[in-house]
Amino acid sequence: MSIKDLLNADMKQAMKDREAGKLALGVIRMARSNIRKIEIDDKKDLSDDEVLVVLMKEVKMRQDSIEEFKKAGRMELVEQNEKEIAVLQKYLPQQLSDEELKLLVQEAANECGATSLKDMGKIMPVVMGKTKGRADGKRINLLVREILK
């Protein structure tokens, strides 16, 4: 079952759940809307990998909002965004642990022959390709910087 099919099935279930599924329904509709917009703009059906990219952008956008809401002291909005992220996490692959990610970064550094921060541009695309949605770019960036010190 593709991610889009799973989103459709979960949306139908959220509609049936009425009040209990209200949050999930809103989040899924927004995600489906963004996926559909990209499909219309690009005039093609998105693959599961491309849908994952859209969903990751949705999560990233909410994480950025959480940071801003915390600064503003809007804890009710922080809580709302955290719940929305939890709904979206269901469709994303399991995130890599720090140890697994560190190992991937180290392997990429060895592959590329990277020795300093100047070589960061060589490592990042390699690691991003290997993780495919299982790690946030910010986490990867921090680990690359740590390893290349």
pLDDT tens, position by position, 38-75? 999 999 999 998 999 899 999 999 999 999 999 999 99
Q: What is the CATH number of the domain that holds 56?
A: 1.10.1510.10
pLDDT score for 78: 96
Q: Average of pLDDT values for 132-143?
A: 85
Residue ranges making up the domain that contains 62 = 3-89
122 Cβ neighbours under 8 A, 6+ residues apart: 112, 114
Query: Are residues 76 and 113 both part of a single domain?
Result: no
Separation between Cα atoms, residue 95 and residue 141, nearest integer Å: 15
Query: Are residues 53 and 7 both part of a single domain?
Result: yes
Question: The pTM is what?
Answer: 0.81
Query: Are residues 59 and 37 both part of a single domain?
Result: yes
Q: Average of pLDDT values for 81-98?
A: 93
Mean predicted lDDT score pLDDT of the chain: 91
Separation between Cα atoms, residue 127 and residue 136, nearest integer Å: 11
Query: Are residues 85 and 105 both part of a single domain?
Result: no
pLDDT score for 54: 94
Query: Are residues 102 and 80 both part of a single domain?
Result: no
Query: How many structural domains does the chain have?
Result: 2
Query: Are residues 13 and 65 both part of a single domain?
Result: yes
Residue 7 — pLDDT band, cuts 50, 70, 90?
very high
Query: Are residues 9 and 57 both part of a single domain?
Result: yes
Query: Are residues 59 and 121 both part of a single domain?
Result: no
